[in-house]
Structure 1
Amino acid sequence: MKYSIAFSPCPNDTFITGALLKGLIPARHFYTPHIADVEELNHAALGQIHDITKLSFHAYAHCAGHYSIIPSGAALGFGNGPLIISKSKIYPDEIAGVRLAAPGKLTTATMLAGIFFGNGLNIKHYLFSDIEEVVLSNECDAGVIIHETRFTYHQKGLKKICDLGEMWEKEISLPLPLGCFAVKNTLPATTQSEVAADMNASVSFARKHPEALTDFILEHAQVNDKNVVQQHIATYVNDFSVSLNDTAKRAISELFSRASEKKIIPPVKPAFL
């Protein structure tokens, strides 16, 4: 059977899916790729557009009844959090009063900003790759940055106000969940399990043979710099990306609990394959 699989052009996603899509592993099914910005993926998930999709955990909270979390492919770990940056000096306790650019209403980055700085922030949403320029042009006072821009902002003279991942780890002492791959619940249970096995094989191959995916990753990356790409993959792909263990699942549940307490999302119980 052929199923649609949606993911972002970011290096961690193409690293994870590359072996599957390039035919480097024996897969149980055929997959039609759809590549889009994470916020586009989030909204598509709400509409149940794709059979398998990468999405932010924030978005998953709003469609948990329709998708189950695949054990492989997640972006979850330590030292991987979104950053809040600015052009001029701003202190963390001033964030509630500034114009804040964020990479999408349904991103986990926006969820974390609400968890730590309140649900009434003055936020305007942009494509993640535009946020540095938005701050540099004074259209916003500060920005929440993710993906490749996490590694390039300082090259443009921007300053880090805080690291939302560090704040999470200090307060929660668990890895930070950012995003995951999920599969439609309407697919047969055996198919869901087979998709999960294909995803596991793909990321396992990538970790053993990263050089086989270099061209595929660079073809789609926003920043065509091998050093940035390697940093990106090292930050967002780890043992949790191969398989979500009990610690990872506890972290995901804790994220949803904190966000629900702040009225950012409704109460939700994640469904794991």
Structure 2
Amino acid sequence: MDALSLGFSPCPNDTFIFYGLIHGRVPTSGLTFRERLEDVETLNGLALAGALDICKVSYHALGYLRDRYCLLRSGGALGRGCGPLVVARGGATLADLRGKPVAVPGRFTTAALLLRLADPAIDTLVYMPFHEIMGAVARGEVAAGVIIHESRFTFRDYGLTQLLDLGEWWEGETGCPIPLGGIVARRDLGVETIIAVEQALRSSVAFAQANPGEAKAYIRAHSQEMSDEVCAAHIDLYVNDFSLQLGPEGEAAVIELFSRAEAAGVIPPSDVLLFPSL
């Protein structure tokens, strides 16, 4: 079999997780991979175009991908205390945002989905790369922004305040951890290949957790603008037991998110089995 195309982001949690897989440090059942690192919304677009065999995508995007891709149980970002934040300049409130432009890090990001579920009246969304949002809010180009990734740790440096933690809102509403991004595989790869990829990915997560220092150079090569402290905080926040295996709690959280998004008309309904099964 030719090398499988594999897309993930340059964020520290992804490079940490995929290091072992990419660098031959775990068994892969003879499979080889061709990596492509892109920002999350670019990855969503590539998956929507069917351009990658395996891809990290936002769960929002997966709502449109279920006929073509299945969800792997390892390698994703799902947890507690790690949701997107709504931030604004001082003095603003959530009610102030209705009818005003609010920046989100892409149409198909889970951040955009959560904002629509939390307050449908905030509906004037402006899509921009995640790393541009804080500056746009600070300059007054938008009324507020929904921030993700390492922006959680640096928004105060821009003089911004937090209006809402969308992960905290989700956990309060549902009791579930928040599904942010998952790893998907093209269904036409065949179930046996997909299961082998899932097992290799689980091994890669386990390798990273057991050898946290080995991937440091690879992580830093793709996150040069971050300090070591922010890189470490990023990994600690987004890599957890759910990254190794979703388990019943994680799977239930994903199903709950899709159920609510379908009921709100944000994603189309689907009755296709979400996970691979022999």
1:38 maps onto 2:32 in alignment: no
Residue of structure 1 equivalent to 2:14: 13
How far off is 1:120 after superposition? 5.7
State the aligned residue count: 273
Which of 196, 199, 213 is the equivalent residue of 1:197? Answer: 199
Alignment partners' CA distance in 2, 1:267 and 1:223? 40
The corresponding residue for 2:149 is 147
Quick check: 1:102–1:131 contact (8 Å CA) kept in 2?
Answer: yes
Q: Which one-letter code corresponds to 1:34 in the other structure?
A: R
| Correspondent of 1:272 among 263, 270, 275 | 275
What's the TM-score, normalizing by structure 2?
0.95
* Superposition deviation, residue 91 in structure 1: 1.4
User: Match for 2:130 among 116, 128, 136?
Assistant: 128
Q: Which residue is equivalent to 2:116?
A: 114
Q: Post-superposition shift, 1:88?
A: 2.6
Unaligned runs of 5+ in 1: none
Structure 2 counterpart of 1:19, one-letter code:
G
Please identify runs of 4+ aligned residues in structure 1 that moved more than 4 A: none
SS of structure 1 residue aligned to 2:35:
strand
Match of 1:93? 95
Q: Is the 8 A contact 1:96 1:118 kept in 2?
A: no
Equivalent pair of 1:10/1:222 in contact (CA under 8 Å): no
Aligned-residue offset at 1:239: 0.5
* Distance in structure 1 (CA, Å) of the matches to 2:182 and 2:52: 14
CA contact under 8 A between 1:119 and 1:262: conserved in structure 2? no
Give the alignment's Cα RMSD to 1 decimal: 1.3
Kindly indicate whether the alpha-carbon contact (under 8 Å) linking 1:9 and 1:222 is maintained by their aligned counterparts in 2.
no
Aligned partner of 2:142: which letter?
C
Distance 1:12 1:166, change over 3 A: same
Q: Any residues of structure 2 matched to 1:24-103 within 5 Å, and which?
A: 24-28=25-29, 29-103=31-105
Q: Work out whether residues 103 and 146 of structure 2, in 8 Å CA contact, stay in contact via their aligned partners in 1.
A: yes
Counterpart of 1:214 in structure 2 is 216
Match status 1:233 vs 2:224: no
CA–CA distance in structure 1, aligned partners of residues 40 and 98 of structure 2: 25
Equivalent residue letter for 1:21: I
One-letter amino acid matched to 1:262: A
CA distance in 2, matches of 1:266, 1:25: 37
Identity %: 38
User: CA separation in 2, counterparts of 1:76 and 1:119?
Assistant: 26
What is the deviation of 1:96?
Answer: 2.1
In structure 1, how many angstroms separate the alpha carbons of the residues matched to 2:174 and 2:38? 31
What amino acid sits opposite 2:275 in the alignment? F
What are structure 2's unaligned runs of at least 5 residues?
A: none
TM-fit CA distance, 1:107 = 0.2
TM-fit CA distance, 1:222: 6.0
Contact 2:99/2:121 (CA < 8 Å) preserved in 1? no
Q: CA deviation at 1:19?
A: 1.0
